[in-house]
């Protein structure tokens, strides 16, 4: 019999003090929590979007965006294999990454080397470039829920065989 599964995706404004920030420049932090035991969860496929204004404002290419996952066991940020997907929108780039489980995540890009003070760079970037669109969060949640449910059901089916 199938059971209900709880998955929570939260945008994080500030990491807990016990978790160090990654060395990369972070677009947004996310937290994914689930009641599925880690041994029952093969992987999570995560789709996310980044506004093209963020990329252009920071002089970045689509391929420079990476999803990072905080590894509780090693206490480091692991860079997940991140693919650029065909865009459905001219205003956002679409990505997909596979994670071994739930945790804290950072959508990140390399730090840009420049002679300008970092404070000045941050002031030049419009605040809107940092704002994740509401629809993006909804689609990420829907995608994660569907993928986790399918994976959970497949694992249940394999165990019965």
- Single pTM value for the model: 0.68
> Considering only CA atoms, which of 93, 106, 11, 15 is closest in space to residue 66?
106
Residue 117 pLDDT class (50, 70, 90 cuts): very low
Mean pLDDT of 132-145: 65
C-beta of residue 62 within 8 angstroms of C-beta of residue 93: yes
Confidence of residue 20 (pLDDT cuts 50, 70, 90): very high
| Residue range 136-148: mean pLDDT, rounded | 70
């Amino acid at each position: 019999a199938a059971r209900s599964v709880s998955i929570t995706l939260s945008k994080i404004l500030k990491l807990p003090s016990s978790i160090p920030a990654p060395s990369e420049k972070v677009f947004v932090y996310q937290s994914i929590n689930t009641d599925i035991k880690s041994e029952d969860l093969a992987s999570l496929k995560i789709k996310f979007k980044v506004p093209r204004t963020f990329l252009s404002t920071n002089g970045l290419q689509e391929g420079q965006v990476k999803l990072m996952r905080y590894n509780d066991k090693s206490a480091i940020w692991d860079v997940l294999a991140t693919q650029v997907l065909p865009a459905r929108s001219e205003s956002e780039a679409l990505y997909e990454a596979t994670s071994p489980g739930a945790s804290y995540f950072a959508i990140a890009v390399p730090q840009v080397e420049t002679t300008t003070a970092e404070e000045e760079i941050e002031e030049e970037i419009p605040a809107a470039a940092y704002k994740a669109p509401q629809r993006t969060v909804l689609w990420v949640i829907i995608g994660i829920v569907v993928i986790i449910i399918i994976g959970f059901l497949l694992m249940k089916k394999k165990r019965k065989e």
